[in-house]
Amino acid sequence: MVFGRNRRERHEKIFIISSNDWKIVTPTFRLLDSLNSLDNLDESHVKNILEKREIYKKDIDGLDRKFIVVSPSVEGNFIIIEGNKRAVALLSIDKLIGNQIYLGVSKKREGYFWARHSQ
C-alpha cells in the first residue's frame, strides 16, 4: 500500500500519533496541519523534523521511508504509529506520496489514547 492516489484526499485522512509531545506541533494531530508549525515554532520543538527534511532534500534515500500505520478500515482515517517525524519532513518537501506503508486494520484501535484525535 502507498500513501495516496488522490493527494489531498489522502493527506486529509492522515494523522500523527496523538501523544502530548506532538500537541505543540499541531493540536489537531492532522499531518497536514503540522506543516504550518514548522516555520512558526521555536526550532527546538521541530529540530529533529527539520534535520530529517534536510537529509531528504540532499538524498531522498538518506533515511528510511517506510511507515507503520493503523486504521479502522482501508479507507482511513490513518494514524502513523512509526515514522511521524519522517512523514512531516517528507510532506514538507512534497515527497510523501509513493512511500511504502505497513497498514494494520482494526476497529479496536478507536479506544486507544494515541488514536483519540483521528476518530
pTM for the predicted model, two decimal places: 0.84
Confidence tier at 2 by pLDDT (50, 70, 90): very low
* Letter string b/e over residues 33-55, b meaning 16 or more CB atoms within 10 A of that residue's CB: ebeebbeebeeeebeebbebbee
Residue 74 has pLDDT above 50, yes or no: yes
How much is the mean pLDDT over the chain?
Answer: 82
Per residue in 88-108, pLDDT (tens digit) is 999 999 998 889 999 989 877
CA dihedral (105, 110, 114, 116) positive or negative: positive
Q: Whole-angstrom Cα distance, residue 15 to residue 18?
A: 8
Name the residue with higher pLDDT: 1 or 68: 68
Q: Which grid coordinates are listed for 102?
A: 505497513
Looking at residue 18, the DSSP 8-state letter turns out to be: -
